[in-house]
Structure 1
Amino acid sequence: MSKKKEKHGHKTNAIRMVEAEGIPYKMYTYDAPDGFLDGVSVAKSLGQDLDRVFKTLVTEGSSREHYVCVIPVAEELDLKKAAKHFGEKKVEMLPSKELTRVTGYVKGGCSPVGMKKLLPTAIDVSASGGETIIVSGGKVGLQMELDPKQLKQVTGAEFVDLTVER
């Protein structure tokens, strides 16, 4: 485990897990005065392109199973595509009030890495081409940049077309 101290408070599960796997990452912090900032605002506050910053969405299938979808912040999750990928009749967004119970994370700080339990995960195929993407570091105000292939590996994810066609 890396002995590198995190400058911004205690390490989150996401940071601990990435370090334990030996995955190189870069951290970013941003201010969220109201406790939550939407993904597009986060990308803008970090001075990053919208297609490099990804949000973590948790869904619930007809079977009551939970699934994680990681998509670009400016995109919309196509629930039908997600349902098809996870083998469900349909999936719906998990209500915000359920998020902490299911993942251990809060809205705006939900990382695809280090949830209470490893949930089936899909990362939008648009991430597969880039060298790095930016996802939540596990709390509001913290983002981490890492190789999408290593994110795929640590979460057991697959690259899938998940977004609504524009």
Structure 2
Amino acid sequence: MSAPKIHKTNAMRKLDDLDIPYDIFSYDNEDGQIHGSAVAEKVGLNPETVYKTLVAHAGNNGFVFVIPVAHELDMKKAARAANEKKIEMLPLKELQKWTGYVRGGCSPIGMKKPFPTFIEETAQTLEQIAVSAGKIGLQVRLDPQALAQATDARFAPLIKD
């Protein structure tokens, strides 16, 4: 019996357009557990290699931060990376309007509008990391440098010590 067909998301289509190789991991989310550590467990990956996408803003300027699921974003480090005095997390009700994605399915790849994107610098030490594929229940795993290429991202220290 073959695996169920996975419909391509915007994130996957963008990776395909850039000829960036990636692996797809799917998981069932019937229990509503969409937090990162649960996702890592469901797809059978080390939580240190599964990253979450956080969207913040300074006024009308949006910023994307990609950090390991088991860590917390350090807002001062994030503001420093974004070259802003202060940033705030984007209210959840604004997420889809700004990015085209919903909570738990927000990918740094293929947002409806490109935002300055920053990836936790420790990702550079890993061969591959997983991020949301743009839909709840789907993750893509790829080289962190390829993710930076696909999102025009910079690596920076972003997590709380």
CA contact (8 A) 2:55 2:95 kept: yes
Q: Work out which of the residue numbers 122, 128, 134 in structure 1 matches 2:130.
A: 134
Structure 2 residue 44 is the aligned partner of structure 1 residue 47: yes
2:23·2:140 contact (CA, 8 Å) conserved in 1?
Answer: yes
Letter in 2 for 1:22: D
Matches within 5 A, 1:70-149: 70-149=66-145
**% of aligned pairs identical?**
50
Task: State the Cα distance separating 1:47 from its structure 2 match.
Answer: 1.5
Using the TM superposition, name which of 43-52 and 6-15 deviates more: 6-15
Distance in 2 of aligned mates of 1:7 and 1:126: 34
- CA shift, 1:126, in A, is 1.1
Name the structure 2 match of 1:13.
Answer: 10
1:114-148 Cα deviation digits (max 9, x unpaired): 00011000000111111110000000000000010
Counterpart residue identity of residue 79, structure 2:
A
Task: Give how far 1:48 is off.
Answer: 1.1
Question: Does the Cα contact within 8 Å between 2:33 and 2:39 map onto a contact in 1?
Answer: no
List runs of 5+ in structure 1 lacking aligned partners: 1-5
* 1:8, distance to aligned residue in structure 2 (A): 3.9
SS of alignment partner, residue 93 of structure 2: helix
Maintained 8 Å contact 1:15/1:137: yes
Q: CA deviation at 1:78?
A: 0.3
SS at match of 1:100: helix
Structure 2 partner of 1:153: 149
Contact 1:35 1:140 in 2 (8 A): no
Q: How many aligned residue pairs are there?
A: 159
Q: For residues 105 and 36 of structure 1, do their structure 2 counterparts lie closer, same or farther at Cα, with a shift above 3 Å needed?
A: farther
RMSD: 1.4
> Structure 1: which amino acid aligns with 2:112?
K
